[in-house]
Amino acid sequence: MEYTWRWYGPNDPITLSEIRQTGASGVVTALHEIDNATVWSREAISARRAEIEAAGLTWSVVESVPITDAVKLGTPEREADIATFCQTLCNLAAAGIDVVCYNFMPVADWTRTDLAMPLPGGGTALSFDQTAFAAFDLYLLERPGAGSDYSAAEQSAARAYLDTLDGPARTRLIETVTAGLPGADNHYDLAGFREAIARFAGLDRAGLRRNLRYFLEKVVPVAEDVGIRLAIHPDDPPRPLFGLPRVVSNAEDARWILDAVDRPCNGLTLCTGSYGAGADNDLVAMAREFAARIHFAHLRSVGHDPADPRSFHEADHLGGDVDMAGVMRALIDEQIRREHAGGARLPIRPDHGHTLLDDVHRETRPGYPLYGRFKGLSELRGLESGLSYRVQSS
């Protein structure tokens, strides 16, 4: 397998030189400085690729080419935005880049309520607390209609939780939940967040699925023609938030997406943390069922709160509630199958990571510290090595 590392470009405080020292060989990045409705030019792509290769690395995966609200909403403006997306795919393919990760989550990307939950042994982790989220949604955002999404007991618990927060703590919760899209520098205030959510009013799960199918019908033929493998990222958490539908949350959703346009290049990003945040998702079974259509993998684990499985924290990469050994074994078997069939590579990356050691002294994007991910990458490489040895010895 190809071990990769997410890099946010020249402004990332983690340098390409440091990435190479972790043992990763591939870089996962995007042209984050370009707005969502603009084609990535061949010149800009080539310049970024040259920068990466000068550091002794390869640009392995694009994460992400953004999908505009017009595409998700299905408004007439989507035609131009889909054409932009397709031209960017063509330009990436011309530069030799063949895997593109993207997501189809309305408004909010991955959502957490705490970016620095203390860990028993030191360091911090990202976490999602359902009661804290409800307190934000009901009493800070004051989303119209939010009350219908929570029971009376949940509303009471959320109010009690909010009453424990002073002014700075409430501000921190607001800033955490409304942090916008990873990789972008667009952050919402409460009014802007309400407005963004309101734009999707009336769009239900069936409507969002229709719009995803329309998008796939347009872009998959282009991707196939130019040799790009598309890898849709799951919802995080994998369930509706803010009254908005989500359609990439479980195995049934994955089957629907692959069947919507049943071509090999229409595939998945297996994010074990995002899918794993759904306590009912069987990650090993999903890895085996969808193996041939997994074009990219994010490997991390989560630990659920026994009192409310909707609440979770990001655990050690080999800890938590995800059977990482089972997932890795499934991916190893798929990699062996691909090698025998002359098939495509399987890039993986350690997703997120705890803030550890000197990470606390540098500014990095939430979930993307140096040492925490380095630890995760090392553990995953060791796990793969041990499992591969057993396969070869059996």
What domains, with CATH codes, occur in the chain?
Answer: 2-111+201-393 (3.20.20.150), 121-196 (no CATH)
Q: What is the pLDDT of residue 390?
A: 72
Torsion from C-alpha of 159, 164, 168, 173, nearest 10 degrees: -50
Active site residue 351: yes
Angle, alpha carbons 43-7-245 (nearest 5°): 95
Q: What is the pLDDT of residue 180?
A: 56
* Catalytic choice (98, 236, 316, 351): 351
**Strands ordered across the beta sheet of 124-128:** 114-118, 124-128, 308-315, 301-305
| 90 flagged as catalytic | no
101 is catalytic: no
- Which pLDDT score is estimated for 187? 65
What pLDDT does 184 receive? Answer: 42
What is the distance, to the nearest Å, from the Cα of residue 1 to the centroid of all Cα atoms in its chain?
Answer: 20
Looking at residue 37, its pLDDT comes to 87
Residue-level pLDDT at 186: 55
DSSP 300-369: -EEEEETTEEEEEEEE-TTSTTS-HHHHHHHHHHHHHHHHHHT----EEEE-S--B-GGGGGS---TT--
From 102, 150, 368, 371, active-site residue: 368
The active-site residue, picked from 352, 354, 359, 371, is: 352
Question: In this predicted structure, what is the pLDDT of residue 282?
Answer: 98
SS3 1: coil
Bin 185: left if φ > 0, else alpha if -120 < ψ < 50, else beta: alpha
Q: Which of 32, 295, 298, 317 is catalytic?
A: 298
Give tens-digit pLDDT for 345-385: 999 999 999 999 999 888 888 999 999 999 999 999 999 99
Q: Is 233 a catalytic residue?
A: yes
- Is residue 204 among the annotated active site residues? no
Asked if 348 and 3 touch (Cβ cutoff 8 Å), the reply is: yes
- Name the active-site residue from 114, 188, 233, 265: 233
Q: Which residues of the chain have pLDDT under 50?
A: 181-185
In angstroms, the CA 208 to CA 87 distance is 23
Which position among 86, 271, 295, 316 bears the catalytic label? 271
- Rounded to 5 degrees, what are φ and ψ at 54? -65, -25
